Amino acid sequence: ILYGRKHAGISTHLLTSVIYAFHTVLGAVGAVALATAALGAIGFTSSGIAAGSFAAKMMSSAAIANGGGVASGSLVAILQSAGAAGLSETVVMVVGSIGGTIGAGVVATVDWLSRICQRRKEEKKMEITNVIIAGIAAVSLITWLKSK
């Protein structure tokens, strides 16, 4: 992202580290917020399972499979608990860690691609410079040969 540049006297490495840290935190916070919102969106709400929702269909299927009730510790029970009481600290840490890793991975990929583009841009400049120098040399040689 900041490959080979100086920014207001701040070292490139420090600024890159700050950018990585920011995106890691952003990924972690975003993942936890998204997980909480997703629970509500599919019907696991703080007031229980929303009627007619995907969560209600999951609960119905689980109840049928278990002879009329939802088994304790099942996916539906865990999601219902998370929707009603919020995400546990463990879930927040796991989801946040995954989101932070994804956030850092995205910024690392962008940084890597940026470096590749920067190298290609520099290589292209060198190619153009070499063509210009070769052209000047050819014209000079032709002019010298004609003068002889």
**Collapsing DSSP states into helix, strand and coil, what is residue 38?**
helix
The pTM for the full model equals 0.61
**Dist. CA 45–CA 81, nearest whole Å:** 9
Q: Is the pLDDT of residue 88 over 90?
A: no
pLDDT score for 57: 95
CB 104 within 8 A of CB 21: no
**Dist. CA 128–CA 70, nearest whole Å:** 70
Could you report the per-residue pLDDT of 96-111, keeping only the tens digit for each?
A: 999 999 999 998 898 8
Residue (of 41, 75, 44) closest to 61 by Cα position: 75
Could you report the per-residue pLDDT of 11-68, keeping only the tens digit for each?
A: 777 778 888 899 999 999 999 999 999 999 999 998 889 999 999 999 999 999 988 8
Two structure tokens written together for 107: 């910024």
CB 23 within 8 A of CB 103: yes
